[in-house]
Structure 1
Amino acid sequence: MGTEISHYRTIVLGATFTGLGAALEDTDGTLVIERTALVGHEFINSFNPGRGWNDTPLSTSGASLREELRERGILSDDGLVHLPALAPVLYNRIYESGLRVFLLTEVLHVEEKHDYVEVTIHHASGRSVVRADRLIDTRTKAVMDADKTARRINAMLLYVGETPLDAVMPDAFVVPDAETEIVKGKLGGELILKLAIGNEDDWVQARSNLNRVWTDRTGEWLDWRICAVATCFEIEMAACSSSGEGRIQRLTSAAYCNPLEAYEAGIEATGRKVS
């Protein structure tokens, strides 16, 4: 006797903000598959807080998330966010909702059949097959290099100087032959350095470029240190959805301006409207 194949209304690839936005609207009928043990990693682990948090039209679900982030002191009224604190909020929502999430699970094959989508996966329990009426792919992995308009490697910075931080808080980082940006987090002294890299740069080349740029810093930046480097690249691309035809929809979460906008894109994929 063969093993019965689980069938869901929706399978979501990637425990991203977009993926969880869609999945949490239908927890009983959705399975989320994530190859890492991380959630929201396309923003959190790339050290990309995004922009325009207060400009995103929100549904009831999205407004609830934003309000929780403000109540917990994670998001300020002017749109500054403490990125590391976002993940526990998402994990808690997954736990409280009972949403099925397969972490540390590799997707081996996706095939669209006549009346369902079949996904072959591999995790600690071995190889298996799951099916769904439709599939939403929110992974950055599925994005072709030609669709990316920019890539960045980002780093968290730490101030180690003796002068009070309020008196020396810099707002620009200028190094010859490098495209950089400084972004502030919600906490005092929380700065993120963003460095543009080429579409073909791998991790070795990207980190080498970051080290070179940081070594060449001068002036007030000599009192700062890199305390952490992002574990995935920030990707910039035009936010778009694949055609509504067929049972597979692609919504790249990293393409949106901020985590809330990405979350709303997932909600909209379920047919809910923002206010």
Structure 2
Amino acid sequence: MTAVTTHYPLLVCGATFAGLGAAFAAEQPVLVVERSAGVGQEFIETFNPGSADSKLAEIQLSPFEQSLHEELVQRSLMKQGGGPIHLPGAHAVLCKRIQDVGLQVLFLTEIVEVRPLGEGFEVMLYNVSGFQTIRVDRIIDTTSRRFSQPDHLYSPIGAKRISAHLSTDQPEQAAMPIVQPPGDRAQIVQGRFPSERVLTFTVDAEADWPAARHSLQEYWRTRPDSLASWTLAATSSAFGLDVPQGPQELAANWSWLPSEGSLHPLQAFNQGYQAQQSKEVIEDGYIKTL
């Protein structure tokens, strides 16, 4: 059975870095809906530690974002001012922040249907507790595939990427500069620490997960000599996708802000935070900027 039980001024689709940024910035009650069991999956599960060229020093951070940045640096999960993030540690930091502020997040939850209702929406959710219908004034979808539109899933055009952590038992190899493999299908990305390296491999957009894994393994079987001492330690559990940065308006009070469109997790967090802070809302008959 379904019943309208709760009203939220804001529904965030995706416990992504951008989604959590928007949720932490909200001054009114907010619900975050995440179809997986973790946070920041668009970076963490795709093994994307963020571009080393990201210019985080040029971003104006709020006090909350500054404290998050400082915590990541203090825990040695990121260098001061930017660079790749150690993703497993970042996951724990985000979970602790969610707990500290009491942010309401529903994990393993699907958005089944979104129906216009007045100036807002009626949203049907499904999880282990069954079906639930809520009312929301505004929706921000931060997922790469736009899961707030279950009947019209967004499919990226072009290629997608599968990634794998590399490992070597030769310390001298881990200390040497990265030598990029030939061709344009494979690239090695530096992680937070010198021995933390990620191979990203481009596959066809139509390739399913078994086909993508097979392509990666076939490439690795004939890998160049520069990678001979390295092994595939772990494979990502999600594809990396090329998506626009956003935001895009899907309808009135319904926007798409794909977190994965940013080059770095903290850039995505900042984009979500700033998008929510700059949203004009009507309060006491006046329009103000939060």
State if a TM-score over 0.5 links the two structures: yes
Asked if residue 239 in structure 1 is aligned to residue 255 in structure 2, the reply is no
Asked if residue 128 in structure 1 is aligned to residue 132 in structure 2, the reply is yes
| Structure 2 runs not aligned, ≥5 long | 147-152, 280-290
Detail structure 1 runs of 4+ shifted over 4 Å in the superposition: 147-150
State whether residues 56 and 267 of structure 2, in contact with CA within 8 Å, keep that contact through their aligned partners in structure 1: no
| Structure 1 runs not aligned, ≥5 long | none
Change (3 A) 1:125 1:244: closer
Q: Which moved further from structure 2: 199-208 or 90-99? A: 199-208
Alignment partners' CA distance in 1, 2:31 and 2:174: 47
Asked if residue 188 in structure 1 is aligned to residue 194 in structure 2, the reply is yes
Q: C-alpha deviations, 1:83-114, integer Å up to 9, x for none?
A: 21110011001000001000111111112222
Q: Secondary structure of 1:59's partner?
A: coil
Asked if residue 219 in structure 1 is aligned to residue 229 in structure 2, the reply is no
Change (3 A) 1:19 1:121: same
State whether residues 175 and 216 of structure 1, in contact with CA within 8 Å, keep that contact through their aligned partners in structure 2: no
Asked if residue 115 in structure 1 is aligned to residue 119 in structure 2, the reply is yes
TM alignment of 1:59-138, pairs within 5 A = 59-60=61-62, 61-77=64-80, 79-138=83-142
**How far did residue 254 of structure 1 move?**
0.7
Asked if residue 165 in structure 1 is aligned to residue 173 in structure 2, the reply is yes
Q: Which moved further from structure 2: 54-63 or 204-213? A: 54-63
Alignment partners' CA distance in 1, 2:74 and 2:87: 15
TM alignment of 1:23-62, pairs within 5 A = 23-26=23-26, 28-51=28-51, 52=54, 54-55=56-57, 57-60=59-62, 61-62=64-65
Alignment partners' CA distance in 2, 1:238 and 1:97: 30
- The amino acid that maps onto 2:94 is L
State whether residues 163 and 201 of structure 2, in contact with CA within 8 Å, keep that contact through their aligned partners in structure 1: yes
**How far did residue 68 of structure 1 move?**
1.2
**How far did residue 238 of structure 1 move?**
2.6
Alignment partners' CA distance in 2, 1:56 and 1:20: 21
**How far did residue 193 of structure 1 move?**
0.3
Alignment partners' CA distance in 1, 2:160 and 2:261: 11
Counterpart residue number, 1:254: 260
Aligned match for 1:154, one of 134, 153, 163: 163
Asked if residue 174 in structure 1 is aligned to residue 181 in structure 2, the reply is yes
Q: C-alpha deviations, 1:218-249, integer Å up to 9, x for none?
A: 42422111111011111123312113860211
Alignment partners' CA distance in 2, 1:208 and 1:53: 36
Q: Secondary structure of 1:24's partner?
A: helix
Q: C-alpha deviations, 1:17-41, integer Å up to 9, x for none?
A: 0100000112651000001111000
Counterpart residue number, 1:20: 20
Alignment partners' CA distance in 2, 1:57 and 1:174: 33
Alignment partners' CA distance in 1, 2:211 and 2:179: 24
Alignment partners' CA distance in 1, 2:213 and 2:133: 38
TM-score by length of 1: 0.90
Higher RCO structure, 1 or 2 (CA under 8 Å, sep 6+): 1
Aligned residues: 268
TM-score by length of 2: 0.85
Change (3 A) 1:158 1:114: same
State whether residues 142 and 258 of structure 2, in contact with CA within 8 Å, keep that contact through their aligned partners in structure 1: yes
Counterpart residue number, 2:286: none
State whether residues 56 and 260 of structure 1, in contact with CA within 8 Å, keep that contact through their aligned partners in structure 2: no
State whether residues 4 and 133 of structure 2, in contact with CA within 8 Å, keep that contact through their aligned partners in structure 1: no
Alignment partners' CA distance in 2, 1:237 and 1:141: 9
State whether residues 53 and 260 of structure 1, in contact with CA within 8 Å, keep that contact through their aligned partners in structure 2: no
Alignment partners' CA distance in 2, 1:244 and 1:217: 43
Change (3 A) 1:210 1:175: farther
Alignment partners' CA distance in 2, 1:166 and 1:225: 12
